[in-house]
Amino acid sequence: MSSKVALQLNAMVGVASTLMATAVMWLMLTRPAEVASEVAQHGYGAIALSVAAELTGWLHTLLRFL
């Protein structure tokens, strides 16, 4: 693997992790009771689905402007 490919992969992982963290924080700020309930019941699948739905919504909104 060349250094250019490694740097591009590192950048993609960094952007993806930043987006995931932002989506989780957005859910914590907009729906704190639901997130707390799911974490207390160890329902991490529902949180993952909510994060995916948020990211999909953001991508749809971004692509609509392009």
Number of domains present in the structure of the chain: 1
Q: Is the pLDDT of residue 49 over 80?
A: yes
| pLDDT tens digit sequence for 6-30 | 999 999 999 999 998 999 899 999 9
Provide the whole-model pTM: 0.74
Residue 10, CA distances (Å) to 7, 17, 56 in order: 5, 11, 22
Contacts of 50 (CB under 8 A, 6+ apart): 27, 31, 34, 35
User: Which residue range(s) make up the domain with 19?
Assistant: 3-65
Question: Which residue carries 């591009």 as its tokens?
Answer: 8
In which band, very low, low, confident or very high, does the pLDDT at 44 lie, cut at 50, 70 and 90? confident
Q: What is the mean pLDDT of the chain?
A: 90
- Asked if pLDDT for residue 1 goes beyond 80, the answer is no
